[in-house]
Structure 1
Amino acid sequence: MKKSLLFYPANIQSHVIPAMNLASHLQNEYEIYVLVMDEKLSDIVRSHGFYPILVSPFKVGIGHEAGYLNEKGLKYTLWHILLAMRKNVLFDDKVHELNAVVGHIRTAAVIVDIFNSTELFPLHVIFPQTPLVCFNPMLSTYKVDGFPTVSEKSWVTANTMDYKIHQKGQIFQGWTTWIGSSFRWVYSGIL
């Protein structure tokens, strides 16, 4: 019987495809399981002959509490978000979710995309003796429509809607505002 490997690429097609290329080099020795966050990516994983496992898109440690609370049908005012962060509800939920879907897999290693590096924390709880390996499947020259490569232009001057939304979030959590101070206070108690 083959050993198993668990891949956790970022929820981006341009990360999943190179991860599947790496996995294809290992498929003779390992059963490959891949954590993905939507059905389109599951189809890509299946087309390579691997086993997709759907998980929620909320990642711990990067401020997804508002979306998480909203999806759960809970209030997500600033107070509720800060409280959820302080209580680590997303981390606890992620450990529970991942344990339910991959805890039974006797994996030789978990290979995590660097864009999902915060997921190493819940994965370590589930697989405390298993090697957790980070990798970067996306080359800086890999082109995705609407996003600049490293050689094209700076992210600072990127004119995409995602970047503009990200910038608003950064300003909202800025170091000089009382809201930013609240987020820093909560994070200092967690880390």
Structure 2
Amino acid sequence: MEKKKIFKDLEDFLGTHFIYTYDNGWEYEWYAKNDHTVDYRIHGGMVAGRWVTDQEADMVKLTDGVFKITWTEPTGTDVALDFMPNEKKLHGTIFFPKWVHEHPEITVTHQNEHLDLMLESREKYETYPKYVVPEFATITYIGNAGINNDDVISEAPYPGIIEDIKSGRYFDENYKRMMLSEGGS
């Protein structure tokens, strides 16, 4: 049986791949790519299907085993996440601009390939009032992906991807993407 990883310092947290479900049912996948960059895929909620790579973020250790990550997306959405991985808990607050709440479909894409559209939409539509979503979440998966692993979040979410990851059908022993014979792309 594999020994449970204990998180204490930021170095323990970096390179970790998480899947978590907010109490409102929204499911997210998130990767601490390095000390200033995160990748994520959204599997449930109003922007399900959205995925982002190389998002600049601020990451700090608040106290042993507790980490705060914050960033602002090109959409104007602000995010603040407090990870408590030893307890398999997280608290997140997402501050959606009014335009994202009213037109979430615009953002449901690989953001990196549509930055101009995100910036254009941010200018075209109303920003305020912000739609604030503060929620607790349960971490349902923790993987040691290593630093700067571009295989972690490398494709759009598809039905069944979470099950493929959790069951060991998605990554090999080196945390590299395997080709799936069925289910995935």
Q: TM-score, normalised by structure 2?
A: 0.25
**Greater fraction strand:** 2
**Greater fraction helix:** 1
Q: TM-score, normalised by structure 1?
A: 0.25
Name the larger-Rg structure: 1
